[in-house]
Amino acid sequence: MIFEAGSCDIAVIGAGHAGIEAALAAARMGLDTVLFTINLDAVGNMPCNPAIGGTGKGHLVRELDALGGEMGKAADAACIQYRMLNLGKGPAVHSLRAQADRKLYQRIMKRTLERQPRLRLKQAEITELGTETGRVAWVRTETGATWRCRAAVICTGTYLRGRTIVGEVMRESGPDGMHAASALTDSLKALGLPLRRFKTGTPPRINGLTVDYSRLEPQYGDPAPEPFSFTTETPLENQAVCWLTYTTEETHRIIRENLHRSPLFSGVIEGVGPRYCPSIEDKVVRFADKPRHQLFLEPMGLDTEEVYVQGFSSSMPEDVQLRMLHSVIGLEHAEMQRPAYAIEYDCVDPLALRHTLETKQIPGLYGAGQFNGSSGYEEAAVQGFMAGVNAALALLGREPFTLDRSEGYIGVLLDDLVTKGTNEPYRMMTSRSEYRLLLRQDNADERLTEKGHAIGLVSDERLEQVREKYRRVAAERSRLEHTHLAPSPELSAFLEGKSSAVPASGISLADLIRRPGIGYADLAPFDPDRPELDRSIGQETEIGIKYEGYIKRQQKQAEEFRRLEQRPLPADLDYLHIASLRLEARQKLDKVRPENFGQASRISGVNPADMAALMIWLEKEGR
């Protein structure tokens, strides 16, 4: 029976990492928001791995935090081991990754949602979405409850017509045995959204008490952990150890002999899987010359013995999985608590979205997370935030909020999705950004806090704290430029120890920092007037001095990029009838409908000659 259950400004469908950020952002901006989830116990679930961050992904979490999002704060309250990745490389690719206590993270997020004013959390499956006069007007649950709304954000993750696969066993299911959301697909198709089928997978979970850790390599956290959130002041503590092990020739033999039973190779799996997180059977086939593959054992939390075997994702039958598992070093007697599985799900072609993540066909309907063709908790969270913010801004009659590629990894992520599209689950990596040295994780607060404040999600107090931090950075940098050291035996011995030339006359502290192998902290014995500063201020000062030339070069490139981005293209342009464009370019431009020259130039299939022809045609037509 269909009935009127209530009304709201914004309905958010799904309470995973995208839905959480979308709902919190909208409610905090003053919009009456209802967040629907198939199961309240699945709020903020981590079905793929119990971790936050990683290469490129840590940048997203920091940017989200600077804008006023929640993931970084929750991670700092729930994470049990922190590691900064890529410390052997430059600061552009340093990325924070942390193991989370999975259940604690869920409890923190659920409680945050429940305590948020103007936000209601509901357990219900949305089966239908309706429009009136072409706009989103209502959503309906499986029990017939109809909720009137002025905007909706779809954050269905891997639930949308989800199907799990373990060998020959296939069933409609969401992650971790939750039931799938099967009915909504038909409603979205009826609205004209272009849907496709993607796939991801999980590894087995094992009982840690049955692991022979004496044969594994321990992976400890950082001695002085750094937080995800710029606002975290409580010292962090590493409370867990991860472990490294390897597959063996026997593992690979078992896999090869059972490939005929693998759904991945038998054609049972229809969805396209992630390139950068392949299953173990895929790795064994693709890298046949490798004698072994790394596996990481990661604890699921402090109050459980359950351990996640990262790198062992599979869809093999359970009996084969057991044999594979017991052939791994240290896991000979491991008890498998949950078998690995593949999961297929429906998602939208992101070319159907604007940069605001609003669908082009249906005003007021937004998409976020894996529904948009991405993978990963962090990618989902930032999309949820941007979709929730833009849904709220539209209803408030304010200008939309977007970030371009020179402003943040969030801008790179969204631009890649809505401009280039994706034929596989999209994963963020530092290599995707042209401006990596500008978009470091350490300076996300400097880049984005002002923008979060303008939206209304960062307080005046927090904004002033960030401004004061960078005033101190500028002052310390100026002091180092104007503080000179005279030659001395101590300085000579220090420089010789660093294999650095000894200057014949005085040298500034800043010039010493510019030398390879010498950092801000190294100069403390020669700098008695150094003020007491937070470690982050010293870090920003050092990076600004050491990479000054490279940073200035990228800033010039970013300025050129923005000039292109600021040249809008008419929304009603009929690309199909511009004869001077190649046929492929006409078709691609017509499909994507770019908003500006910059976006048009990044469309796959559009080359520089096409852009020149388009510019000439527009000038000729006076447009």
What is the DSSP secondary structure assignment for residue 136, as one 8-state letter?
Answer: E
Residue 178: band (very low, low, confident or very high) from pLDDT cuts 50, 70, 90: very high
pLDDT band at 111 (very low <50, low <70, confident <90, very high): very high
CATH code, 567-620: 1.10.150.570
Query: Phi and psi dihedrals of 274, rounded to 5?
Result: -75, 130
User: Do strands 135-141 and 145-148 pair parallel, antiparallel, or not at all (unpaired)?
Assistant: antiparallel
Residue 597 has pLDDT above 90, yes or no: no
Residues 410-455 have pLDDT tens digits of: 999 999 999 999 989 999 999 999 899 999 999 999 999 999 999 9
Which residue is listed with tokens 């371009």? Answer: 404
Mention every residue, 6+ apart, whose C-beta is less than 8 A from residue 614.
578, 580, 581, 589, 597, 600
Residue written as token pair 């002085």 = 224
Burial classification of residue 231, based on how many CB atoms lie within 10 Å of its CB (0-12 exposed, 13-18 middle, 19 or more buried): middle
Position 273 pLDDT exceeds 80: no
**How many Cα atoms occupy the beta-carbon half-sphere of 563 within 13 Å?**
6
Calculate the alpha carbon distances from 318 to 265, 314, 315, 370, 577 in Å: 16, 10, 9, 27, 56
| Nearest by Cα to 387 from 24, 7, 109, 4 | 24
Q: Does domain 460-556 have CATH number 1.10.10.1800?
A: yes
Residue from 392, 389, 377 nearest 16 by CA: 377
- Indicate the domain borders of the chain: 205-343, 460-556, 567-620
pLDDT level of residue 276 (50, 70, 90 thresholds): low
> Which spans in 192-287 are helix H?
249-257, 263-266, 280-286
The pLDDT, as a whole number, for residue 576 is 92
Instruction: Please give the structure tokens belonging to residue 546.
Output: 């050491």
pLDDT of 548: 94
Give the pLDDT mean for 78-93. 96
Instruction: Average the pLDDT over 576-587 and give the result.
Output: 88
Tokens of 81: 């081991």
Does pLDDT of 266 surpass 80?
Answer: no
Indicate the pTM of the whole model: 0.94
- Kindly state the helix (H) or strand (E) to which residue 394 belongs, with its residue range: helix 377-395
**β-strands 135-141, 294-299: how paired?**
unpaired
Average pLDDT of the chain, as a whole number: 94
- Lowest-confidence pick of 43-52, 53-62, 134-143, 571-580: 571-580
Q: Which amino acid is at 502?
A: V
Distant-in-sequence, close-in-space partners of 572: CB < 8 Å, separation ≥ 6:
none
> What pLDDT score does 608 carry?
74
Q: Mean pLDDT over residues 292-298, rounded? A: 97
The pLDDT value recorded for residue 261 is 92
How confident is the model at residue 393, as a pLDDT? 98
Structure tokens at 341: 């599985």
Mean pLDDT in residue range 498-524: 93
Question: What does the angle CA 560 – CA 384 – CA 430 come to, to the nearest 5 degrees?
Answer: 45
**pLDDT of the residue at 514:** 96
Residues with Cβ within 8 Å of 484's Cβ and at least 6 positions away in sequence, in order, are 506, 507, 508, 509
Please give the CATH architecture assigned to the domain spanning 205-343.
Answer: Beta Barrel (2.40)
